[in-house]
Amino acid sequence: MRLMAFFILSAFTLILFLMTLFSSFADEPFLFPVLLLLVILTVFSMQNEFKKQLKEQKIHHSESVSLLILLATVAGALISYLLNIYFGLGAVVAASLVGIVGSSLAKKYSVSIYCGSFVGMISPKVLHDFTHVLMASFIAGILFILSQKVYKGIGGKLGAIAFSSWILLSWLSKVELVKGNKISMMTGLYIFIFSVIGVLLTHILSIRLKKDIVASSSAVSLIAGLVFPVVYPDSGSTIAAATMCASFVGMSSKRIVRHELDALLSGTIMGILFLMSVEHFGGAGGKLGTIAFGSALCLKGIHDLRGKT
């Protein structure tokens, strides 16, 4: 079953990246070679993970199947959705609060709760209803359980689970995602800056200072979600989303983001992918995590080529 989870996460991440690659050929052709390289690195990293999964499949590993894990994921999604849509806090602040509360009050299930919170980040612009959120959260919970031994230590995996759930649901139901708006050059510059800062801060908190990984990402994201919309009224929400995305890259294990130079590199990669993928799968919960997931895979691909992992 873990191979099924591997293929689902890999396929939907690759679909987003390939759509980004092809659209860049028309919109920003000078970035096409860069994106092509990033796609190649991602595929290379996925190939290595597939080999690893085939090898480990020969050894019996029991997945931690728990109804509580599933319920924690669903609860995280529903609470995040209520805060996001009904209380009007916005996706970034809502998911961050769920992450902080989860890591404080339910540490054992904080990761699955945080995963669920990304399902609840669905945009109100997306055609959906509460039933769709409930369905997506159950899909995410099942996928979370199946993927526990897959892509271990890769930041953004939780978001990729949520994203895959929404894409699957959009294919099976009347959920309609939207096309994102292009980002201005000045906003793009801020996104690059805070992408690097977001990865660095989360890495320092979780690895250097040994703080809880969910709390580290949530804290960075919450500050961004509260501050940037005030400081940058026109683009603050987008910059906050990019910073949250970066915090997911920073959740990667020390094997992936080994030091501050890796944080700088992965933050730059993430900034490029964030800007270039903005028009695709707009409003889907978990898209930020999927961008982060692919960025971390790119970094791992570089390490794999150098024989460093």
pTM, two decimal places: 0.95
Cβ contact 145:69 at 8 Å: yes
Percentage of the chain beyond pLDDT 70 is 97
**Closest CA relative to residue 140, chosen from 111, 179, 104:** 111
* Domain spans of the chain, in order of start: 2-305
User: Can you tell me whether residue 129 is helix, strand or coil?
Assistant: coil
- pLDDT single digits (tens) 133-186: 999 999 999 999 999 999 999 999 999 999 999 999 999 888 888 888 889 999
Distance CA 10, CA 47 (A): 10
Cβ contact 143:161 at 8 Å: yes
* Torsion angle of the four alpha carbons 140, 142, 143, 146, in this order, in degrees rounded to the nearest 10: 160
pLDDT of the residue at 63: 60
Distance CA 199, CA 189 (A): 16
